Amino acid sequence: MTEVVLVLLAGLLAGGINAVVGSGTLVTFPVLVALGHPPVTATTSNAVGLVAGGFSGVWGYRRELAGQGRRLLALLPASVIGALVGALLLLRLPESAFEAVVPALVVLAVVLVLVQPALQRRVRRRTQARAASGRRPSRVAPAVLWVLTLLIGVYGGYFTAAQGILLVGAMGSLLVEDLQRLNATKNVLSTAVNLVAAVLYATVGADRVDWGVAALIAVSSLVGGFLGAHWGRLLPAAALRAVIVVLGVVALVRMAVTA
């Protein structure tokens, strides 16, 4: 029961963080690894479970999605293709390859969480400067953004942590758009990546998914996504980042001990 409660709490927190920030996997993944799940199983089970939280986060940000239909239609294929490639890499490469690279991926995700405030300030200043100057968007920007979204989709299909931060950074560097609207777009794209990866894991690598864990995360992240979309923006961002960083360190220590 202790493990069930821990997974439920992790899923609840991850669903809320994904809706607001986009690095909820750095909550659930360390918890699953600390409970003894192999890294690949932790990743696949987490991806399957967090799909529900992604949908509730998208619904919570539906107002910010107004008028973004054309942008989503352009970028969703990139996320889907990238997710397919990343998920296939996870399933087809030896587990030892993932176990070797995942510490570096966790470190990357933790660093992204730490630098996110500076990244958001930079995105906001850049957006305001472009809007004030009245400059037209670059004709090259849509193509560059599509390629970046594809690469982030590959990363997300392989290891989901902090893909939302990467998406907001890429879009903020190339688009003139409000940060909350970018966050709403991020929720749709990252949910699409998780959904594609989850379908592939369920059909091709079902033996690598702990379905009990996935179900617990699905239920709790669904609630967490709603709460995050409505109340998460009121919580101290520094506190959320501190929790994420601590859990990321826990995952690294646990993997080092069991290596």
Per residue in 97-116, pLDDT (tens digit) is 777 777 777 777 677 667 76
What does the pLDDT look like over 174-210, one tens digit per residue?
A: 777 777 788 889 899 999 999 999 999 988 888 889 9
- C-beta of residue 189 within 8 angstroms of C-beta of residue 76: yes
- Count of domains for the chain: 1
Question: Rounded distance, CA 220 to CA 37, Å?
Answer: 19
Q: What is the pLDDT of the chain when averaged over all its residues?
A: 82
159: containing domain? 2-258
Please state which of the ranges 25-34, 106-115, 230-239 shows the lowest mean pLDDT: 230-239
Helix (H) or strand (E) holding 243: helix 237-258
pLDDT of residue 141 exceeding 90: no
Q: Say if CB 137 and CB 175 are below 8 A apart.
A: yes
Beta-carbon contacts of residue 118 (< 8 Å; ≥ 6 apart): none
Q: What would the DSSP string read from start to end of 135-202?
A: PPPPSSHHHHHHHHHHHHHHHHHH--TTHHHHHHHHHHHH----HHHHHHHHHHHHHHHHHHHHHHHH
Residue % of the chain over a pLDDT of 70? 81
Q: In the prediction, which pLDDT does 229 show?
A: 77
Token readout for 14 is 């991850």
Q: Are 44 and 160 in contact (CB under 8 A)?
A: no
Q: Are the C-beta atoms of residues 116 and 21 closer than 8 Å to each other?
A: yes
The pLDDT value recorded for residue 240 is 60
Are residues 24 and 14 in contact, defined by beta-carbon separation less than 8 angstroms? yes
Mean pLDDT, residues 118-131 taken together: 69
Q: What is the pLDDT of residues 216-232, one digit of tens each?
A: 999 999 998 888 877 76
Element (H, E) at 29: helix 25-34
More confident residue, 75 or 170: 75
Question: What's the confidence (pLDDT) of residue 147?
Answer: 93
Residues 6+ apart with CB under 8 A from 125: none
- Greater confidence (204 vs 123) lies with 204
